[in-house]
Structure 1
């Protein structure tokens, strides 16, 4: 971890040990092989698509941050541009919703390779737990968003445990929601609000995954299994 990154973070929420992972190898090694799988169940992805439908306006410019082979955006809504940023070229090339993509490792360089005020929405699905310098990344999310633009950070309780930071693995699910809220709040500087309307959306499945899958098989409908968490915030229009 570069000490220069740490020195640039205006508000350090995490201790050095909290940023570490049990697997310290570069993320580019871990993600070098494509994984064409869903990392959460279909009930979770349905909820995420519904949230995107509600929060992202048609004809928006969208950044799918830490993207993979699926983006979960509604297929029946036209967006002006959908750009992906991720670590595996094969996955990004397979993603039919992306119009373009950039290969970029946010743990090696926490600054997004995009112009300021380029996007109406920035999305990060089930990947925020891997960020080692979240304060800097969220500050740059703010930079690339247009005034009034929205950031949507979604996650569940699944993860690659060896690549999630200690701050994430050591916290409960409710504490993780607060942690992501604080990532947004860390961008806000003294006497000014850069991110506003910070909102947590929580939808825990009432049934354990095994029972939910059994009901799906026996009766043909999905009652879900993975808890759904999302934290949304908008960039202040008065900046």
Structure 2
């Protein structure tokens, strides 16, 4: 098991955001996390990646207790993520933004970079070869030197995913990656996620596009008001009365 959440509990000013949530993510699985707005999904992601520390419960990644660790430590262990609202460095180029994702993989020290040692040049060459690989994978070659803020939203989303992949994660967390994308871009995203899985990377996904989620996820966790109300394969989730009530309400 790659990721385990055990009875995770998180509040904000007395409001319960996550209530004793437990679930597991298997190696090389695409697992979907769904629920109405305000269900606590992004808070779960923030607890996993160290932005928030849960008051109770434990989070294990690859056999290690990561509960409350700093985000950069968790990133170095092999978890990368994208955000609901794209967070790039707007005045930097596409290549520079993706290179920012390599910071946990750099082997040079500040001294190496200061005096340009052989170790610095070797590390820089290896890193730029990796960046080129991800640029090619996401079909961003013609935009390599473009300032990222000048690109349309769909391309910026690709850059953010490429930056996350540049850290060579074991687990990639995607928070509503299809938000704001048109149908063509959404299909390209689905194809990309399958490619990422084929690379041996596990994917944890929040997405409000239910057609996309039901076709893509192998297993789904459903949240409502901070609690898990259902889990199962897509066909089970689609017919679950509690899930239908959470999304549509009941008389």
Q: TM-score, normalised by structure 2?
A: 0.30
* Structure (1 or 2) with the larger CA radius of gyration: 2
Greater relative contact order (Cα < 8 A, sep 6+): 2
Say which structure is richer in helix: 2
Q: TM-score, normalised by structure 1?
A: 0.31
